[in-house]
Amino acid sequence: ILYQDRTGECLKRTGASVALTSISNVTAFFMAALIPIPALRAFSLQAAVVVVFNFAMVLLIFPAILSMDLYRRRDRRLDIFCCFSSPCVSRVIQIEPQAYLDSNDNTRYSPQPPYSNHSFAHETQITMQSTVQLRTEYDPRTQSYYTTAEPLSEISVQPTLSTPHDSSSQTPEGTSSTRDLLTQFSESGLLCPEPSCSKWTLSAFAEKYYAPFLLKPKVKVAVIFFFLALLSISLYGTTRVRDGLDLTDIVPRETREYDFIAAQFKYFSFYNMYVVTQKTDYPRSQRLLYDLHKSFANVKYVLLEGNNQLPKMWLHYFRDWLQVRAAEPIEYAQFPFYLNGLRETSDFVEAIEK
């Protein structure tokens, strides 16, 4: 793929999925902004705007950066210090054919033994065809492309027949074949001097420092223990999570509402106390309810009224509404409420009649 077409090919293969994902997220956040909750609406609008700008960055700025990096590679410049270029050019390793004897891979002709009385001698015809396959590789350390040649050989053996005269006169000498028919020039002529700044590239850092450091046994063990410790802390943190959210978590920051709620929690963090009872005989347990209410006065952080009295509970207001006169303790225990002293108001008479 040409340099001019690589970025377009990348966008053609991945642009559709990126576009669908971004459009789906933007649509979801804008639909969530329809919910009539100020904090949720503000969050949804902000998230939608962020996704829109992120989508624009992916379509416009990110491909431009990739194109610039492609031109940097074409000019053989370093990744971090782009002002420096590698002196190593794209090299083709020169090769020349050379047939030589290989002791490990050979096929020798064995002549006919002298004690043979056959009128025809056996000969073996060896045919060898050699081809060269070129392969281009990119070396990130030197920012260069290298073309190497790999030899491929094919050997075919075909037996033939000949007369004794021909056999004696055309007996082939011992020959050999090898698959490595191509040799390179001396490596000293292929070495390319590298600038001193080439070791400060990301590829050199990953090759010489980062990868060897991670492959050390001690580092592997340390990484495993660090992961287990982080997992343990995370599991413990899940047990400390409370149900629900504070008001400061859902109110937008740097607003008057947030400052008010934060100051209220910091300096005026008081709230009502509730006692939940189930299947209680309230008419016969009024004295217990009063005693329970008075016991809250002994709590250290309970806020009292101006007369150092506890705020009234629902039973006080209910008795005030009934306007029940004070009774003796014995009569109070036997008869929780008295109708003496009640005013004949319209609402009370209607309640009695119903």
* pLDDT tens, the chain, 354 aa long: 676 788 888 888 888 888 999 999 999 999 998 987 777 888 899 999 999 999 999 888 888 888 888 888 777 777 776 776 765 544 444 444 444 444 444 444 444 444 444 444 556 666 666 666 666 666 655 555 666 666 666 666 666 655 544 444 444 444 444 344 434 433 444 455 555 656 667 777 888 888 999 999 999 999 999 999 999 999 999 998 887 777 777 777 788 888 888 888 888 777 777 777 777 788 888 888 888 888 888 887 787 877 778 888 888 888 888 775 554 454 444 444 544 455 555 555 555 555
Q: Are residues 104 and 64 in the same domain?
A: no
Q: Are residues 103 and 186 in the same domain?
A: yes
Does residue 294 fall inside a structural domain?
A: yes
Over the stretch 123-146, which tens digit does the pLDDT of each residue have? 666 666 666 666 666 665 555 566
Last residue of some domain: 179, 198, 217?
198
pLDDT, position 223 = 95
Angle at 36 between CA 19 and CA 241, to 5 degrees: 80
Neighbours of 212 (CB within 10 A): 11
Q: Are residues 159 and 187 in the same domain?
A: yes
Cβ 42 vs Cβ 252: under 8 Å: yes
pLDDT, position 219 = 94
What DSSP state is assigned to residue 199?
Answer: G
Q: Are residues 180 and 150 in the same domain?
A: yes
How far are the Cα atoms of 42, 122, 178, 250, 268 from residue 107, in angstroms, in the given order?
A: 83, 16, 8, 84, 99
Q: Are residues 105 and 170 in the same domain?
A: yes
Does residue 60 fall inside a structural domain?
A: yes
Q: Are residues 295 and 343 in the same domain?
A: yes
Last residue of some domain: 155, 180, 198?
198
**Full-model pTM:** 0.40
User: What is the domain range of residue 171?
Assistant: 91-198
Quick one: CA torsion of 335, 337, 341, 347, rounded to 10 degrees?
-150
Q: Are residues 35 and 131 in the same domain?
A: no
What DSSP state is assigned to residue 139?
Answer: E
pLDDT, position 105 = 45
Distance CA 108, CA 101 (A): 11
Does residue 326 fall inside a structural domain?
A: yes
Q: Are residues 158 and 186 in the same domain?
A: yes
Does residue 349 fall inside a structural domain?
A: yes
Structure tokens at 193: 């001097």
Does residue 123 fall inside a structural domain?
A: yes
pLDDT, position 171 = 44
Q: Which of 226, 206, 209, 230 is nearest to 218 (CA)?
A: 226
Q: Which of 313, 340, 305, 315 is nearest to 325 (CA)?
A: 340
H or E stretch covering 153: strand 144-162
Cβ 141 vs Cβ 215: under 8 Å: no
Neighbours of 343 (CB within 10 A): 8
Q: Are residues 27 and 70 in the same domain?
A: yes
Cβ 128 vs Cβ 63: under 8 Å: no
Distance CA 107, CA 48 (A): 74
pLDDT, position 178 = 39
pLDDT, position 123 = 61
pLDDT, position 124 = 63
Q: Are residues 99 and 68 in the same domain?
A: no
Over the stretch 147-204, which tens digit does the pLDDT of each residue have? 666 666 666 666 665 554 444 444 444 444 434 443 443 344 445 555 565 666 777 7
Distance CA 287, CA 194 (A): 95
Compute φ and ψ for 64, nearest 5 degrees. -65, -40
Q: Are residues 108 and 174 in the same domain?
A: yes
Does residue 257 fall inside a structural domain?
A: no
What DSSP state is assigned to residue 36?
Answer: S
Does residue 145 fall inside a structural domain?
A: yes
Work out how many domains the chain is built from and give that number: 3
Angle at 144 between CA 138 and CA 145, to 5 degrees: 50
Q: Are residues 123 and 190 in the same domain?
A: yes
Does residue 139 fall inside a structural domain?
A: yes
Last residue of some domain: 46, 74, 102?
74
